[in-house]
Structure 1
């Protein structure tokens, strides 16, 4: 049954409600600082003052570079090792398989804050505090990604994998030549989720790194947010809000682009990952 006018109307209203905050933040970043506070709901003459002041006050380029480095390396590790682990849990039988997979799932119940102190002590013992290793390695192979890949790969017919074995392919050859092409939607969904998690991660980077050289984008933005309380000499409340909206708008663009480009694969991957294996 095709959607009716009423359904399109409801979806349109919901879409407008979700998109309005994004539109307001971006449009307000081009307004004079005083107008953001005194007249927040109307448009005024556009100005680049907020962006110029933000780039002058905040090392946002360093934050972008560090976040990009962490995202590329950490994302590559997630996209390689988690599908391999999911493949093993989905298509192989070995002693203790169910117990081990249950332990992996149990780790999903642990709050992130519970793990921070043990992880920080481990990084300190290894001498990795204030290093890229501390930002990249913890969480690069996580339980949710393994579970996601296991569910996605479990939906692949066993006959397809057996055909690869009959043709003489090794298990790694089957994984790279047979499994990966089939689960591309699931991989795209995992890529989007991993990008969002790494890009928006704040708690662990602010704990593991306390120097400006290794700060990620979210930590850099938090230092600007602190200026709202008057930490920066010569700043006023309205000026800082303008810079904060400008920085938030700049930080928002990469995620919007990634989601728009991969949205079809993301939705297909969500559906594929929901199939019970």
Structure 2
């Protein structure tokens, strides 16, 4: 059966959806480079001759966004590394090994996906207090470092690896970790790239847990810093007007968007392949 190419109406709908999706982002970025008064007085226009960096200069002077980026980078590097190492190993075990209680254990892991985040907040907070980790990097990193979704994702992807490849490697005398590192990992590279993008986005955008577990400005992640932008701006300069607050808010939001946009552009092909592969295997 020959599929017809998309018609003009389909392309028009796609273009309209793209414009509607990108318009708020483009407006926020353009407004960040406008004089504060123009953001309020002329919100839908942009005059290139009025281009200014004053919003960014004022924001860096009033908001500890550098501290937020640093804390987020540390959490992202360590927590992301833990996820990318142990989630594939767990997924490999569930996909390719048979052991007693496997289905019960996997079902228990899946049940945790149905638990609302709010339900786990108090128990986790009490646990961190017992360990003396409140307002520390271990508390930001360890909870949720290997979550159920990452294990499920890897299990789905690794299920598509032919058992014959693994059996041939065993016949050649390759150990189990060697099979995983030399056979499985190269085959599931698109799935790993997809998991990496999702993991980075989840950690980068995480707000609820960091705002609960941190209590000082020095431990605040980027999202916590962004949530308190208006307070920081007005607190450091009592005379700051409403327009200046909006300008600095848009400047900070623009900077916060850059890492995720660059990441997705670099890994877009692998991410899409990983999404498709992970959704079809099982």
Normalised by the size of structure 2, how large is the TM-score? 0.95
Other-structure match for 2:15: 12
Matched, 1:65 2:70: yes
Contact 2:190 2:274 in 1 (8 A): yes
1:227 is displaced (CA, Å) by 5.5
SS at match of 1:13: helix
1:276 is displaced (CA, Å) by 3.8
Matched, 1:33 2:33: no
1:116 is displaced (CA, Å) by 0.7
Normalised by the size of structure 1, how large is the TM-score? 0.97
For residues 8 and 225 of structure 1, the distance between their equivalents in structure 2, rounded to whole angstroms, comes to 41
SS at match of 2:11: helix
For residues 216 and 145 of structure 2, the distance between their equivalents in structure 1, rounded to whole angstroms, comes to 22
Contact 1:50 1:242 in 2 (8 A): yes
Q: 1:23-75, CA deviations, whole angstroms, 9 ceiling, x for partnerless residues?
A: 10000000111111111100031111100000000111111111001001000
Structure 1: state its 5+ residue gaps: none
2:194 to 189, 195, 207: 189
Other-structure match for 2:98: 93
Q: 1:60 to 1:136 in 2, by over 3 A?
A: same
1:225 is displaced (CA, Å) by 3.4
Other-structure match for 1:109: 114
For residues 162 and 51 of structure 1, the distance between their equivalents in structure 2, rounded to whole angstroms, comes to 58
1:21 to 24, 33, 38: 24
1:161 to 158, 163, 166: 166
Contact 1:227 1:240 in 2 (8 A): no
Q: 1:112-158, CA deviations, whole angstroms, 9 ceiling, x for partnerless residues?
A: 11111110100000000111000000010000000000000001111
Matched, 1:243 2:265: no
What is the Cα-based RMSD across aligned positions, in Å? 1.2
Contact 2:80 2:200 in 1 (8 A): yes
Structure 2: state its 5+ residue gaps: none
Pairs aligned (count): 276
Other-structure match for 2:130: 125
Other-structure match for 2:182: 177
1:200-211 equivalent positions in 2, closer than 5 A: 200-211=205-216
1:215 is displaced (CA, Å) by 1.0
Q: 1:246-265, CA deviations, whole angstroms, 9 ceiling, x for partnerless residues?
A: 00000000000000110110
Contact 1:26 1:246 in 2 (8 A): yes
1:5 is displaced (CA, Å) by 3.2
SS at match of 1:274: helix
